[in-house]
Structure 1
């Protein structure tokens, strides 16, 4: 099952109203749980990259919950209406740089152009470079480094040029 298939499954489950789905085949096990209507709480620690690794003797992948990403409510809508949001194209772990010793790909105030790498999302031990689809200036980073992100979750606010 590809990452895209898993994303589509989670999207389907989130729209279906189901609270929990378990799928198990001979070489894959997926468990998707949705939290109740209350506000989800963040885990105390970020899951390690091993959380997406196969488990011997049977590979196992645990997909994050299908809870919709929280919206940016701190700023009034009038202030953010002219900003463009760069969103996560997949589920995984968000990283601002390629490794802990290197600087972040972008900082608040940096200019970005279409195609410039803004972050990396690790999904199932694959590191995917996420490129900006717009040109502009980074106004806000919406996600902490090394934290899990959901599909379509806002990552950055960009003021278009």
Structure 2
């Protein structure tokens, strides 16, 4: 791991990293996060009884759109031509939460970790938005990159739980 911050130039100013000379490689990242809620809210959305409809479908589309817009949202992120974005939801009733996961892929010169994190974050925010009227006590937590591959650093996998 490098000790220098790549998003700062020699004068300490914010700087978008120049990836011009980096090799184009297959790059992939996964991320996860959780949204905790009451047992009643979890049952309502998993049983399809929410009056707003299929909240998972809406949150999935929101997460996919967010990954595609990451370069617009985070100032020093490169705009990327993603070739795959996947957002999935796993209800965990034993913990009164939903696990949200994302996968982002491309062939390019820079990684897709920020896109994967953004997909999970916005999917969780969308679930919160759609359910806040019935459960304002929901908590979003544990958002983290879980794996990445490609580029000169190769494969990396999270060894600590969130």
The answer, yes or no, to whether TM exceeds 0.5 is no
Q: Which has the higher contact order (CA 8 A, sep 6+)?
A: 2
More helix by share: 2
TM-score (norm 2): 0.25
TM-score (norm 1): 0.25
